[in-house]
Amino acid sequence: MKQPAESGHVGSGRASYTEGSSVGPPDPKQRFEEIYTACYADILAYLRRRTTSPDDAADALAETFTVAWRRAADIPGGASARLWLYGVARNVLANGRRAESRRGELVERLGAQLAVWEETAGPAGDDLDAVRAAFGRLSADDREMLALVSWEGLGSEEIAAVLGCSRGAVRLRLHRARKRLARELHDAGLDVARYGS
């Protein structure tokens, strides 16, 4: 592998990517390796200054070079490669911040929903362990069917697509799963009407 040329940065000691002088188009893998070698330290330093932990910087670096690998044909030649990678790294960080914000909002919403649920549950909150135990005694197929309806909010057509079966089969399996859950709740001494049947 050809060694990258030294950068024009005075005292930086950084390598800089320069287009190869060989005749014909460069090997894409070799070109990517050269860009990676030349730009790795600068991109990592950029990310470290903008993240709160070395692990976050390493994750962002991996994502940056994953994007670069997928879009290798878009990477400009020469010194512009580093600038292009800075742009990719900047977008990776922005995407990470948006995802973290969405996760935070989701946690807040779920926390608020749980608080309301616990307030309105009253004495039924004491039955939560019994309901969980009843649900846990169902077969994995029954639990999955009930979870797809109750937790994921899917309809019979959507469940049929997920499970790879007909809507009629979904309706029958769902009816049977609900009956078995009602039986488990009744056997546990719980008011079945409170939990749906």
Q: Residue 194 has what pLDDT?
A: 59
Amino acid at 181: L
What CATH class has 5-104? mainly alpha
What CATH class has 138-195? mainly alpha
Q: Residue 176 has what pLDDT?
A: 94
Model confidence band, residue 122 (pLDDT cutoffs 50, 70, 90) = low
pLDDT tens-digit series, residues 29-46 = 999 999 999 999 999 999
Q: CB-side exposure of 110: number of CA atoms within 13 Å?
A: 7
Q: Which of the residue ranges 20-24, 101-105, 117-121 has the most confident prediction, judged by mean pLDDT? A: 101-105
* Residues in contact with 2: Cβ distance below 8 Å, sequence separation at least 6, in sequence order: 20, 30, 34
What are the boundaries of each domain within the chain? Answer: 5-104, 138-195
The DSSP secondary-structure symbol of 138 reads: S
pTM of the model: 0.47
Q: In whole numbers, what is the pLDDT of the chain averaged over residues?
A: 80
Between 6 and 176, name the one with better pLDDT: 176
Rounded to the nearest 5 percent, the helix, strand and coil shares of the chain are 75, 0, 25
Model confidence band, residue 192 (pLDDT cutoffs 50, 70, 90) = low
Between 196 and 70, name the one with better pLDDT: 70
Q: Residue 147 has what pLDDT?
A: 83
15 bridge partner residues: 6
Between 69 and 11, name the one with better pLDDT: 69
CA dihedral (148, 152, 157, 162) positive or negative: negative
